[in-house]
Structure 1
């Protein structure tokens, strides 16, 4: 398996399927066709769909169960073939689209995110089908827009009448070199950019300072209403609906790397005393509000008429992202001083996702990965968002979010890499997962 899988991965990695600007549409199409050909070679049916005008091809296919296909569960597997751009090229030790192995690691753009991470799952499904040993129906969805918004696959899933009994998403990673993980919760995000106007034009601070309303002062007053307090927590109005971690989740966290180390490795400082000790829970299971940017004023002595800010709220599993976004906006607006006018420039929202660790699909997944790796996975939550996973959650499809990259693997940076061991563990785990999920009730 290992040599064949490596050869296939190298072929796929050589295709510069960049979706983030500057990419060649012909290469995007070639990477999509590569995945489609893999499904066809295993006896599956597959098509390339263009869901929206100007969108990249979506690979949608199916591998039917080897026996009794009408009465066994259906599992949707997901990954993406598009990659980030590779600039600056001079920071790469080897060319980004000429993969090579150094010290047990595969170096190439897309090695970790997501071709190298996902291919073992696709390969396991195809191999089981070719062997006549596939115990579930496998629906394949491989997108080419994950790095650029993922609109096509979200629309496809929304319109899809069939669904699945479970889904597997290989777009996550391990929590350490010897500890796999299943992500059971992802925070959503509400991002808002707005202007606060305090005057018709900038004013001279010598002539008007102290009597004229300052847009920056007004903005700061509004932001003070939502900035976390000394304990780092968002105010209670913004924490409505949070689903706290279960006892099973907490028990699985034993032995996870400490938050103090994670913050130090990122060059970060604690937001409040004891933040490191609460890192694992807070970063995946609680609301967070951050001021991301403020633009206003001048180095001259002026009173700015307008101040612009971008504020984001990371919405915890269980929360309503639109309701929390509206509450964030209300709190800021009502805290502004008289005379200040707030105008929304843009909004963006992505919902959170949550899959209970004690659900049948995730219990099967935990046992399957433990059989493959020899260590029980941690049931973790992550602070970031994967839009398609949120779509699956809203659709009611139990989803196993996992993968075999490591926390310090550089994803979008120069010298992106993925370990050969991760490739092998991913393949072994995928076979166990697909075999184990045959036990689900369809």
Structure 2
């Protein structure tokens, strides 16, 4: 299995299926057709669909259960074949679209995100089907826009009437080389760009300084109403409404997680407040966070900026409502403006958080399967980031098992992206065990 899986992965990685600009649309089609052909070789059916005009092709496939397909569970497996661009090429130690093995790692763009992560799951399903041993119906959705917004998969899922008893999403990582993980919670986001205007144009600070309202000063007054407490890093209470508490069953699996201080240091970060490292795991997955991402105004001359633009984001904890928090954020910002300053929204974006309780049947069965495959019970973690498709699964009532067998320090989106070869083996073994174990959902 190992050699065949690696050879297949190399074939897929050689296709430069870049969706973020600068790629050839024909390569996206080739990468999608590669997946279709693999599914069909296993006796399944698959096709390319275009849920939105101008979108990249979505692979939609199916492998029916080997026996009694009408009386067993249905599992939807999800991944993406599109990749980020690879520039600057001179920072790669080997060509990004010519897979190379060095010291037990496979180097190529897409090796970790997501071709090399997802292919072992797809291969496990195909091999079970080929052997006549697939105990569940497997639906397959492989998108080509994950790196560019994911509009097609969102439209497809919204229109889908069949659903599934569970979804498996191989698009995250292990907690460490010894500790697998299931991400049961993901934060949502409110992203807001706005202008604060204090004058019709920039003004001379010698002539008007001290008399004319300064947009940067006004912006600072507004931001002061929403910034986290510098002593604790905690966002103000009005922006923490609805946060779902962490269950004891989750916390009980955190013992082997990497140290927060080490994680910050390894990333070149400095703690935001005393004790930030000790609270890293819980704070970054289970609490709200607010960050100012950009401020653009004025220049280095002695001017009073007439308008200042800022972008800030709130990472929303599971349980929070993006609409309500977005409205409260604007209310608080406006409350801090001095008289005469005006706030205008330039753009905004929202994504829903998601949480699948630790005692969800699909999560329990998946955790047992991963332990059988790897010898270690997985940590049940919450991610500080957002995966919109997972929130979409939650909205459809489909429990999602978000996992994967890359490592936390795999350089995704960066030069020399890679995956450890052991990750392919673990991903295949865990995928096989999960597909077998999730058949029990059909009995409930």
Preserved CA contact (<8 Å) 2:74 2:164: yes
Alignment of 1:31-430 (within 5 A): 31-229=31-229, 230-430=231-431
> Offset of 1:224 from its aligned partner?
0.3
**Does the residue aligned with 2:345 lie in a helix, a strand or coil?**
strand
> Offset of 1:383 from its aligned partner?
0.6
**In structure 1, distance between residues paired with 2:301 and 2:271:** 34
> Offset of 1:260 from its aligned partner?
0.2
1:80-132 deviation per Cα after TM superposition (whole angstroms, max 9, x unaligned): 00001111111111111110111111111100000000000000001001110
**In structure 2, distance between residues paired with 1:368 and 1:244:** 26
**Does the residue aligned with 1:418 lie in a helix, a strand or coil?**
strand
1:252-283 deviation per Cα after TM superposition (whole angstroms, max 9, x unaligned): 00121110000000111111100000000000
**In structure 1, distance between residues paired with 2:292 and 2:158:** 32
**In structure 2, distance between residues paired with 1:36 and 1:241:** 42
> Offset of 1:333 from its aligned partner?
1.1
**Does the residue aligned with 2:433 lie in a helix, a strand or coil?**
helix
**In structure 2, distance between residues paired with 1:208 and 1:56:** 54
1:168-195 deviation per Cα after TM superposition (whole angstroms, max 9, x unaligned): 0000010111110000001011111000
**Does the residue aligned with 1:276 lie in a helix, a strand or coil?**
coil
> Offset of 1:7 from its aligned partner?
0.7
TM-score norm. by structure 2 comes to: 0.99
**Does the residue aligned with 1:84 lie in a helix, a strand or coil?**
coil
> Offset of 1:394 from its aligned partner?
1.2
> Offset of 1:45 from its aligned partner?
1.1
Aligned residues: 442
**In structure 2, distance between residues paired with 1:358 and 1:75:** 18
Give ranges in structure 1 of 5+ residues lacking alignment: none
Preserved CA contact (<8 Å) 2:78 2:140: yes
- RMSD (CA atoms): 0.7
**Does the residue aligned with 1:252 lie in a helix, a strand or coil?**
coil
**In structure 2, distance between residues paired with 1:169 and 1:248:** 22
> Offset of 1:58 from its aligned partner?
0.2
Give ranges in structure 2 of 5+ residues lacking alignment: none
> Offset of 1:326 from its aligned partner?
1.2
**Does the residue aligned with 1:396 lie in a helix, a strand or coil?**
coil
